[in-house]
A and B are shown apart, each in its own frame.
Chain A
Amino acid sequence: MNTAEETVEYAAEQSPRLRWAEHAPEVYKAMIRLDAAAGRGLDARLRELVKIRASQLNHCALCLDMHSKDALAAGESVERIVQLSAWEESRHFYTEKELAALELTEAVTVLTDGFVPDEVYDKAAKHFDEAELAQLIAAIAVINAWNRFGVACRMTPGHYQPGQHG
């Protein structure tokens, strides 16, 4: 196994298309402030599941690298992370509250197909009190912004250390 691994030739790593935080440091600071505000009051593991799922839908490599590692660091299981992109078929890995949050994450992330259905919103509203729900929506909206920075600037994944950004 070891010898096989040693001879694997991976594709070359690409540099980011645009080091946006260096060109827009005030924007980066504003994003960090927003991110801290949007996460308050939500369970850390739930927050990471939401961020991973949105990043899967938006295909953000850097965000997947970061939030999978943060989830593991927060005590999340590999199994639940692996199953996340098929959560509808693996519901027994998650609580009803987590499932409601994941469903809302998908509806709010895939807006170009239109709106957030009442049944999705109502299910989330049954499991989260109003303040929590507002923060959940904020967290989904904010990871969607990070995903767009990551994808548009083609930020390079693989180097994130858990907790790196506090």
Chain B
Amino acid sequence: MSRTRLLDEEVGRAMSALSATAKKGLADPVLAELVVIRASQLNHCAFCLDMHLKAARRSGESEERIQLLNAWEETEDLYTEQERAALALTEAVTVLTGGTSRTKSGGGFVPDEVYDRAAKHFDEVRLAHLIALISVINSWNRLMVSRRIPPGGYRP
């Protein structure tokens, strides 16, 4: 059985509007791509990875920073402290399921240290938009993975 490609038109429009609003409020397009790529890696969204890798390359992001995003915690000097705080928040907000509050990975909730680290680098308005961006890419990931939308077709 093949999967539906259907997406309600109003849902599609509302999703796009939400994405644009979140991105605008974060006011850092370079960081925005890193955040959506990292969330899409965690959620295994092939379509989203294809789209945002192309978008990041097109906007001049370096190949090294794209390639090593999957292991950003092990890198030095490749990402700024602000970017690292945002990536840590992206991971915590994306991996909400599983385990209990005591499970380190996939353990639910967003730890205070992760939140506080982000709050040190972003004022409340930008932090709210960063959380919005993480939330909305999580929705896109789910829309694309569940309908198995194939990667490769995206043109920036």
Residues of A within 8 A of B (CB): 17-18, 20, 23-24, 26-27, 30-31, 33-34, 37-38, 40, 57-60, 104, 107-116, 118, 121-122, 125, 130-131, 133-135, 137-138, 140-142, 144-149, 151-154
The bracket for how many chain B residues form the interface is 35 or more
In the assembly, what is the distance between CA of A33 and CA of B15, in Å? 9
Tell me the residues in window 75-133 of chain B with beta carbons closer than 8 Å to chain A beta carbons: 89, 92-98, 101, 106, 108-110, 115, 119, 124-125, 127-129, 131-132
A contact patch SS = helix
Q: Which of B5-13, B29-37, B57-65 contacts A (4 or more CB under 8 A)?
A: B5-13
Q: Is the CB of B44 within 8 A of A111?
A: yes
4 shortest A-B CB distances, which residue pairs?
A34-B14, A23-B128, A24-B128, A141-B142
In the assembly, what is the distance between CA of A131 and CA of B6, in Å? 7
In the assembly, what is the distance between CA of A144 and CA of B123, in Å? 25
* Contacts known (A18-B124, A20-B128, A23-B127); A148 close to B135, Cβ less than 8 A: yes
Closest to B5 in A: A134
Closest Cβ–Cβ distance, residue B140 to chain A (whole Å): 8
Q: Is the CB of B136 within 8 A of A134?
A: no
**Inter-chain contacts of B45 with A (CB < 8 A):** 111
Q: Is the CB of B11 within 8 A of A34?
A: yes
In the assembly, what is the distance between CA of A107 and CA of B49, in Å? 20
In the assembly, what is the distance between CA of A37 and CA of B42, in Å? 27
Using A31-B18, A146-B135, A148-B93 as known contacts, list a sample of 8 further A-B pairs with CB atoms less than 8 Å apart, ordered by residue number in A: A37-B13, A40-B10, A107-B146, A112-B106, A130-B6, A145-B139, A149-B131, A152-B131
**Inter-chain contacts of B6 with A (CB < 8 A):** 130-131, 133-134
**Inter-chain contacts of A152 with B (CB < 8 A):** 89, 92-93, 110, 115, 131, 134-135
In the assembly, what is the distance between CA of A95 and CA of B109, in Å? 31
